[in-house]
Amino acid sequence: MRTTFAILIGILASLSAPLIGRAEIVVVDEAKPGAVIVVPQSPMPEESLSAERLRYYIGKITGTSIEIVDESKLEGKDAPSGRIYIGRTRAAMAVMAKLKQRSAPAEASLVECHGNEAFVTGVDPIGTLHATYFLMEDFGCRWYIPADWGTVIPKTSRLVIADQSTYRAPSFKLRSGLTDTTVNLDADPTWAAYEWGRGNHLGGWRWWGAGHSYRFMIPAENFKTHPEWFALVNGKRIPDQLCISNPEGRAFALQNLRKELAAYGDHPPELICISPNDTTADKFCQCAGCQKYVPTKPDGTRDFNSGMDRIIAYANFFADDLKDEYPNSRVLYMVDYHSHDMPSLVKPAPNSAFWVIHWMGDQFHGQNDSTRMGQTLTRWGTYGLPELVYTYWGSHTSWSFWPVVHSIRQEVPYYHKKGVAGICSETHENWGAQHLNFIVYPRLMWDANTDVDAWINDFCQKFYGPAARPMREYYTLLEQAAQNGPPQHRYRQTLIPTFTPEVLSGLRQKIAAAQIALRGQDEVYQKRFAFVKAGFETGDLYFSAEQLMRTYPKTHDPTIRPRMVQMMGRALELAEDPQFKHLIGVYEYPLVDDIRKIYEQYRQGTTFATGEFAYFDDYYLGGLTFIDAQGKSGFIDDLYGLSLDGGNTGTLIYCFDTHDNAIFKQARGSLVLTSSTKVNPIKLSARTSSDQPWKEITFAGDGTNVEFELSPLVVGQSEVSLKIELTNSAARNTHVLHQLHFNGQVCPRSN
């Protein structure tokens, strides 16, 4: 690990003068400080943090602490052998003038070094912070995973800064993921997510309100006292959304919003999110006042499912009220999410901005002008207002593999070319199996022209050392599998066809080769690999179990279920291992619960123990029907559930039973359908033994949610069979069945 580095700063991304000669500032040489860090007499918080972090990392790299000096205290003293000026020092005035001459954008940074003086500064304080981390990056530091072992700090006894003039500017005005450099300036030298964000140059425009902000403006607890502030839907007030026209409700929301903005003092957020709660457009308000913003269909009826005009009308109210007091802020809201149409009655205010949400589109095959995302950007771009992309490069539903680097490397330059102002990835922190996404996308968000392959190779070499080659091949296989697989829309289960036994076998070979390469190597490489290997294994175990389950209808091998249970039991052990679990954010909270749920589903099957029971199947790509349904015909195992061809009937038969010497006390169930009963007539039947005829059972529901009660039939019985029959009376293929819930209570059989 201890090698000697002669660091040449500024080779990458230098857009101005070439390096001058071979001069350099010696920062540290053989444990002797050769330079001091100089801060302004009254430093900004970002400048103080920059100086502290620079000293911290220089100490880590060289083992030597250098001094931080107030610029005013340098006067009259012998000049040290080198000075590193941070930020807006008097000495840096000429250097900062260069940034002004460039018309440098916010957060642009400059590292300039001539003779025995180096200037680490930016067009603003945040730019200075970026310049500092770029300097440390050029020293060889990297922030890959927010843990001490996940950060690379080289070791050397001699550290230098070469003569240079290195200018860097961000490609986007907002670059957000796990954290934001402009939000938290915590100087605690620990390895928190904020340090990861600073080291990866996140930042830019700040926002208030999150993606769904109605709930902050008028919290749901106000529904009891002021139901008129909330949406009127089909003649009934509901708390799901707000009434966007009620004047008292608007005034209350504005008052709350002003209180929130006042807390920012002289630095209000550039973006103020006024975006609906997370429900569908059919729950938007239909009162007389709101109907002014409901468009009319060609047949003359009102299109209540078109919510965009109501969203914009509400946002415009706040935009108009705030425009004078907050001239540099924009009101922001989601488009192509709650409502997928363009507005026809209301025009966005001039101080608006749009979140273009990459929610419905394919996450695995990139964006262009022909994709839904590209078309949305084009349509909303006609207003000439800032567009920001909101995407998901760390899946919130898949804690296993989510290899999208091949998409990221295509999408980010495309967004930059389209003039997108900023990007936010809702990056759920499933680091074990998805971390390469988190290493690549911040780099591209800062510089859309980044050489991604070179950056990944640099990561593999620095992070894995002797195992760099097999791990690079491991990532390549992951990306190839995703790129060659079907479209993906957020859900873990839909990845089952992508991660075939052949793909999983190839990945295992690369992991095994990396493990061999690391035998006897440095402990830090071992620890990094152990963590990544655990992330791989959780995905490998899950997909292997799912692939194994799909062989059951042909083999009826009785060992399959125990093997599946064993696999997910091992995955649960990995997820609960303290060496992986203790690191906050590296495995997000739902991971352990989700793996435990899958484990319990496999273990329970359709046989229930004494006490409360709950059976659930989401039917993604067939769900649990392969091993739990005793009979299945007609249905197509579709991406999000079971489908039927036009005119066909599908049948599912289950046998639910109890463990020895136990009987049912209660049993009820529900089905979630995806089409109305007019299109898909449904028939439910049950019996308590195979020698009895099927008895049709009644059910209640609205065509998409069907509830049925089996208690009168099953009380005192040890088993019950359920038959579900659905007929697609339409001419086309239809997605018909989405979920099955079956629950109740089992009690001991009385003697």
Output phi, psi for 16, to 5 deg. -130, -135
Q: Kindly state the tokens that stand for 59.
A: 């100490």
> What ranges do the domains of the chain cover?
24-169, 206-329, 477-604, 609-748
pLDDT for residue 608 is more than 70: yes
Output phi, psi for 68, to 5 deg. -105, 125
Higher pLDDT, 175 or 582: 175
Q: Please enumerate in sequence order all residues whose Cβ is within 8 A of that of 66, keeping only pairs 6 or more positions apart, or say none.
A: 27, 28, 33, 35, 36, 37, 55, 58, 59
Q: Which amino acid is at 64?
A: T
pLDDT for residue 189 is more than 70: no
Over residues 239-294, the pLDDT tens digits come to 999 999 999 999 999 999 999 999 999 999 999 999 999 988 889 999 999 999 99
pLDDT band at 440 (very low <50, low <70, confident <90, very high): very high
Looking at residue 4, its pLDDT comes to: 35
Over residues 92-110, the pLDDT tens digits come to 999 999 898 989 999 999 9
Whose tokens are 């009644």? That residue is 698
Looking at residue 61, its pLDDT comes to: 98
Looking at residue 613, its pLDDT comes to: 97
In the predicted model, what is the mean pLDDT of residues 648-673?
A: 95
Looking at residue 9, its pLDDT comes to: 33
Q: Kindly state the tokens that stand for 339.
A: 């409502």
Q: Kindly state the tokens that stand for 571.
A: 């995955």
Whose tokens are 């690999």? That residue is 529
Looking at residue 245, its pLDDT comes to: 97
Q: Please enumerate in sequence order all residues whose Cβ is within 8 A of that of 554, keeping only pairs 6 or more positions apart, or say none.
A: none
Q: Please provide the distance, in angstroms rounded to a whole number, between the alpha carbons at the two ends of the chain.
A: 72
Q: Find out whether 483 and 364 touch, Cβ atoms under 8 Å.
A: yes
Q: Kindly state the tokens that stand for 512.
A: 């095994």
Q: Kindly state the tokens that stand for 290.
A: 């709101």
pLDDT band at 521 (very low <50, low <70, confident <90, very high): very high
In the predicted model, what is the mean pLDDT of residues 42-64?
A: 96
What are the C-alpha distances in Å from 737 to residues 605, 637, 677? Answer: 20, 10, 11
pLDDT for residue 112 is more than 50: yes
In the 8-state DSSP scheme, what is residue 16?
S
DSSP conformation letters of 649-690: EEEEEEEEEESTTEEEEEEEEEEEESS-TTTS-EEEEEESST
Higher pLDDT, 534 or 428: 534
In the predicted model, what is the mean pLDDT of residues 541-560?
A: 97
Q: Find out whether 353 and 365 touch, Cβ atoms under 8 Å.
A: no
Is residue 84 helix, strand or coil? strand
In the predicted model, what is the mean pLDDT of residues 39-61?
A: 96
How far apart, in whole angstroms, are the C-alpha atoms of residue 291 and residue 295? 8
* Among 319-323, 352-356, 423-427, 502-506, the least confident range: 423-427
Q: What percent of the chain has pLDDT over 90?
A: 79
Looking at residue 180, its pLDDT comes to: 57
Q: Kindly state the tokens that stand for 172.
A: 């986007």
pLDDT band at 22 (very low <50, low <70, confident <90, very high): very low
How far apart, in whole angstroms, are the C-alpha atoms of residue 325 and residue 720? 67
Looking at residue 11, its pLDDT comes to: 31
Q: Please enumerate in sequence order all residues whose Cβ is within 8 A of that of 258, keeping only pairs 6 or more positions apart, or say none.
A: none
Is residue 725 helix, strand or coil? strand
In the predicted model, what is the mean pLDDT of residues 307-334?
A: 97
Q: Kindly state the tokens that stand for 728.
A: 């697609």
Helix axes 308-322, 247-262, angle to 10 degrees: 50
What are the C-alpha distances in Å from 148 to residues 144, 249, 427, 553, 723? Answer: 10, 49, 21, 48, 56
Angle at 380 between CA 319 and CA 231, to 5 degrees: 55
Long-range Cβ contacts of 125-128 (<8 Å, 24+ apart): 125/44, 125/45, 125/46, 125/47, 125/87, 125/88, 126/46, 126/181, 126/182, 126/203, 127/99, 128/44, 128/46, 128/47, 128/50, 128/86, 128/87, 128/88
Looking at residue 582, its pLDDT comes to: 47
CATH 3.30.379.10 holds for 24-169: yes
Q: Kindly state the tokens that stand for 676.
A: 């109305």
pLDDT band at 592 (very low <50, low <70, confident <90, very high): confident
Three-state SS letters, 485-538: CCCCCCCHHHHCCCCCHHHHHHHHHHHHHHHHHCCCCCHHHHHHHHHHHHHHHH
Centre a 10 Å sphere on the Cβ of residue 312 and count the other Cβ atoms it contains. 26
Nearest to 228 by CA among 219, 216, 238: 238
pLDDT for residue 581 is more than 80: no
* Among 31-35, 89-93, 320-324, 673-677, the least confident range: 673-677
CATH 2.40.160 holds for 609-748: no
* Among 130-139, 206-215, 268-277, 384-393, the least confident range: 206-215
Looking at residue 3, its pLDDT comes to: 38
How far apart, in whole angstroms, are the C-alpha atoms of residue 516 and residue 533? 13
- Exposed, middle or buried by CB within 10 Å (0-12, 13-18, 19+), for 410? middle
Looking at residue 190, its pLDDT comes to: 54
Looking at residue 750, its pLDDT comes to: 83
In the predicted model, what is the mean pLDDT of residues 424-436?
A: 89
pLDDT for residue 80 is more than 70: no
- Exposed, middle or buried by CB within 10 Å (0-12, 13-18, 19+), for 455? middle
Looking at residue 146, its pLDDT comes to: 86
Q: How many helices (H) and strands (E) does the chain have?
A: 20, 34
Q: What is the mean pLDDT of the chain?
A: 91
